Amino acid sequence: MEGPREKILLFDSGVGGLTVYRELAKARPQADYVYVADDSGFPYGWLDERVLVARVVALMGELIDAHRPDLIVIPCNTASTIALPDLRGKFTVPFVGTVPAIKPACAASVTRRVSVFGTEATVAREYTRALIRDYAQGCKVKLVGSRHLATYVEAELGGAPASDAQILAEMAPCFEEDGARTDTVVLACTHYPLLLDRLRRLSPWEVNFVDPAPAIARRVVDLLGPAAAAGKGSARGFFTSGRAPQAVLARFGISVLAPATAAG
């Protein structure tokens, strides 16, 4: 007998979480998805840690009341690396976070030179530094904080791409030649895979860019177990500014949820 559809809520500061949604929708097409972007608070990388935690916890309470999700994915490194313990302490819904994929990147690096490329906030977090201490596996790991790349990604999707020089200025420090060359770059901000083609084209040499999205999708499917419902579920999106980028969401198969419905 067919069971109810699972409801999965995704929460990011903007369009970055769509890179995780894309993989999730492939792995679990039967679920109903609500994609929430707190774009009124974008970029999260610029917010003070305490302000960010308070903001995310408050919003999450409203979203849980309004949508009653079975599981929440935070496809945002900047929020996950600081707010996950508070979220898990306060709510009973299971959370799947997104944190820099340092362990698989270091396991895969041949030259033993890895860069972690994320927002300035993510690379400054103790959580990220602990991942390096625990999982560098003898690799030299360089932290590269980018002030503007997430904003360039939002602009690119909004039809106003940043120049090659602007993007190169953000990514250049990822490429180190120190006896050996960096061969692996962890994309530690979910926005960045949306610019992957440009990142590849502008790279001074070929590197392996590690996108955590497929691993997050596998983790969600493991937690949910076999799908109870058959067929394809729905996908709706809500932006806290009330200005959801309809055309961008449509490219990912997501329809815009009216603000009144989103708030419950």
Using CB under 6 A as the binding rule, whether residue 36 contacts ligand DGL is answered as no
Give me the catalytic one of 76, 106, 139, 174: 76
Which 172-231 positions form the footprint of ligand DGL (CB under 6 A)? 189-191
Burial class (CB in 10 A: 0-12, 13-18, 19+), 222: exposed
Assess 237 for contact with ligand DGL (CB under 6 A). Answer: no
- Cβ atoms 255, 236 nearer than 8 A: yes
Catalytic residue among 106, 139, 174, 189: 189
Stretch 84-123: interaction string toward ligand DGL, x if CB under 6 A: ----------------------------------xx--x-
Q: Where are the alpha helices (DSSP H) in the chain?
A: 18-27, 49-67, 77-90, 102-108, 120-124, 126-135, 149-157, 164-171, 196-202, 213-224, 246-251, 259-262
Contact between 245 and ligand DGL (CB under 6 A)? no
Catalytic residue list contains 76: yes
Question: 159: left (phi > 0), else alpha (psi -120 to 50), else beta?
Answer: left
Interface with ligand DGL (CB under 6 A), residue from 13, 109, 146, 184: 13
Stretch of 40-48, 55-63, 173-181, 238-246 lying at the interface with ligand DGL (CB under 6 A): 40-48
189 is known as an active-site residue: yes
110, exposed or middle or buried, with CB in 10 Å at 0-12, 13-18, 19+?
exposed
Least separation in angstroms between CB 189 and ligand DGL:
4
Between residues 115 and 122, which has the closer beta carbon with respect to ligand DGL? 122
**Structural tokens at position 67:** 């949508």
CB–CB of 93/64 below 8 Å? Answer: yes
For residue 45, state whether it binds ligand DGL (rule: CB under 6 A).
yes
Question: If binding is defined by CB under 6 A, does position 55 make contact with ligand DGL?
Answer: no
Q: Which residues are catalytic?
A: 76, 189
